């Protein structure tokens, strides 16, 4: 005669295991969500940094152009001083962005 199984007792065991599995799945989903947010923030900061580097290259070009236009003056012209100030601000912003990228 086959052994009879107590289905109610087995169902309770299975239900507990399913509950445990669903709780673990929720925890993993939350961790995954946090990781996606972290990666997207880092990606945005990297794009901002790349944009600032492009701006820096443009400023180098404009500084060189202004220097040649003013026929290599001993003292920087007003426009040249303005460009150098912008370059300094851009480099500061790049350093800040790089620091924030490393923090993430």
Q: 3-class DSSP state for residue 77?
A: coil
Average pLDDT of 74-83? 88
Q: Which residue has the tokens 């152009």?
A: 65
Task: Identify whether the C-beta of residue 82 lies closer than 8 Å to the C-beta of residue 47.
Answer: no
Distance between terminal CA atoms of the chain? Answer: 65
Domain extents in the chain? 9-103
pLDDT tens-digit series, residues 11-58? 888 888 888 889 999 988 888 898 999 999 999 999 999 999 999 999
pTM, whole model, 2 decimals?
A: 0.68
Tokens representing 78 are 């007003």
Contacts of 79 (CB under 8 A, 6+ apart): 66
Kindly list the distances between the CA atom of residue 12 and the CA atoms of 5, 20, 25, 52, 78, in Å, as whole numbers in the listed order: 13, 12, 20, 60, 82
């Amino acid at each position: 005669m086959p052994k009879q199984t107590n289905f109610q007792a087995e169902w309770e065991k299975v239900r507990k295991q399913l509950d445990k599995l669903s709780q673990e799945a929720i925890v993993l989903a939350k961790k995954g969500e946090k990781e996606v947010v972290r990666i997207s923030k880092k990606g945005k900061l990297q794009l901002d940094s790349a944009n600032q580097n492009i701006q820096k290259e443009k400023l180098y070009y404009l500084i060189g152009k202004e220097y040649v236009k003013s026929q290599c003056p001993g003292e920087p012209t007003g426009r040249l001083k303005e460009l150098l100030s912008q370059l300094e601000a851009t480099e500061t912003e790049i350093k800040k962005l790089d620091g924030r990228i490393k923090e993430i």
